[in-house]
Amino acid sequence: MTNRDNISRLYNVAASAILTLPGQRDSSCRLDADVKTLEKLCDAVTMELNSIDPGRIAEAFDIKGLHDRLHTVLVQLRAIRHALDSAEAQAEGAIKAIRIISAAVEESNPDDDTL
């Protein structure tokens, strides 16, 4: 594989990773929608919390709704964290490929300071 072929391959690796980052049209990761869902779930937890009179809690059933709504918030937070971790890994892969390209170009053109 020639240096140009390797640079082209690395560029395609970086481009593919960049195009899967959140917010890109073709990305399956839509953090804006996930955050809006989280906001709605938090609103529902707050409404449930405000509807409970602590002095009237006599059994687990009295706070089951609060527990269930809070659990959905926790699940949504975990989903967002997973999406962010995946996006971070993609971005790290892209930056690594770009740094290798930069180093390869510098080695082949040591007198050129355009990068």
Is residue 9 over pLDDT 60?
Answer: yes
**Alpha-helical regions (H) of the chain:** 3-19, 31-50, 61-108
Confidence class for position 11, pLDDT limits 50, 70, 90: very high
Q: What is the pLDDT of residue 111?
A: 61
Q: What is the pLDDT of residue 32?
A: 85
Q: Which residue has the higher pLDDT, 4 or 58?
A: 58
Mean pLDDT score of the chain, rounded to an integer? 88
Is residue 114 over pLDDT 70?
Answer: no
Eight-state DSSP code of residue 56: G
Q: What is the pLDDT of residue 102?
A: 93
- Condensed to tens digits (0 to 9), the pLDDT of residues 56-112 reads 999 999 999 999 999 999 999 999 999 899 999 999 999 999 999 999 888 766 665
Q: How far apart are CA 10 and CA 103, in angstroms?
A: 12
Q: What is the pLDDT of residue 98?
A: 95
